[in-house]
């Protein structure tokens, strides 16, 4: 199925050659802060379940397990690498202790929902586990959100892939153009929300003076 459009065509040869191993590897890396097309991998694997080249249940099990393990690995890197690693790697991008304090406060309030929903936004998916570990989100809370988010993500992508049919070009357009824009919009909303809360906190502190 190398005649699939766009990113699907680039993923298909790996699944042709390595089957479930390719699905496991790419989904794992996509959840480990690596820019690998995880959505496309799941959709192509799902298309292969329709043609009979792959089994539906094995794809679901392999993909879910790889997604959970990938984000757990990212969480461990964030937890044990800690702030020194984040500051060292992110200094040129404006990462500071103050910024990390605000991110930690955000995850304390909405970390569970962010880990679940972030699975559907490529930018957040790559950073989710790392940031959750960095902000010292509890392991149990993260694991539950991770497992639920992985199940929803794998399930939705599988349904999309099995139903794509003649609409695969439209799916490719959405994946390559619309999804990144939605991800950017979500990031902007989060940044504005954090900035607004910071202004309110400053205003409250000034009133108390």
Rounded distance between C-alpha atoms, residue 79 and residue 86, angstroms: 10
pLDDT at 95: 59
Read off the pTM.
0.73
DSSP 33: T
Segments making up each domain of the chain, as ranges: 6-208
Residue 50 is predicted with a pLDDT of 82
> Quick one: which of 183, 191, 167 has its CA closest to 47?
167
| Contact assessment for residue 34 and residue 126, using Cβ atoms and an 8 Å cutoff | yes
In Å, how far are 31, 75, 84, 124, 153 from 81, measured between CA atoms?
17, 10, 7, 19, 27
pLDDT for res 28:
95
Torsion of CA 170, 172, 174, 178, to 10 degrees: -140
Per-residue model confidence as pLDDT tens for the chain (209 residues): 546 656 777 888 999 999 999 999 999 999 987 888 888 899 889 888 888 889 999 999 999 999 999 999 989 988 887 777 666 665 665 556 666 666 667 677 777 887 888 788 776 777 788 888 887 788 898 999 999 999 999 998 888 888 775 556 565 555 555 555 655 565 566 566 656 666 776 766 666 66
CA distances from 196 to 34, 97, 131, 201, 202 (A): 31, 19, 21, 9, 10
């Amino acid at each position: 199925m190398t005649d699939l459009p766009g990113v699907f065509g680039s993923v298909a040869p790996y699944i042709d050659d390595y089957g479930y191993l390719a699905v496991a590897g790419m989904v794992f890396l996509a959840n480990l802060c690596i820019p690998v097309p995880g959505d496309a991998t799941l959709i192509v694997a799902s298309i292969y379940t329709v043609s009979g080249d792959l089994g539906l249940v094995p794809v679901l099990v392999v993909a879910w397990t790889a997604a959970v393990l990938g984000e757990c690995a990212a969480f461990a890197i964030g937890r044990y690498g800690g702030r020194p690693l984040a500051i060292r790697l992110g200094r040129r991008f404006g990462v500071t202790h103050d910024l990390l304090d605000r991110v930690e406060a955000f995850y304390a309030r909405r970390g569970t929902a962010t880990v679940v929903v972030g699975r559907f936004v490529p930018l957040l998916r790559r950073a989710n586990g790392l940031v959750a570990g960095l902000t010292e989100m509890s392991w149990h809370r993260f694991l539950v959100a991770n497992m639920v988010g992985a199940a929803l993500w794998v399930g939705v992508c599988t349904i999309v892939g099995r139903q794509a049919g003649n609409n695969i070009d439209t799916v490719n357009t959405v994946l390559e153009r619309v999804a990144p824009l939605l991800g950017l919009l979500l990031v902007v909303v989060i940044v504005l929300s954090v900035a607004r809360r910071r202004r309110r906190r400053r205003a409250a502190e000034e009133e108390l003076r």
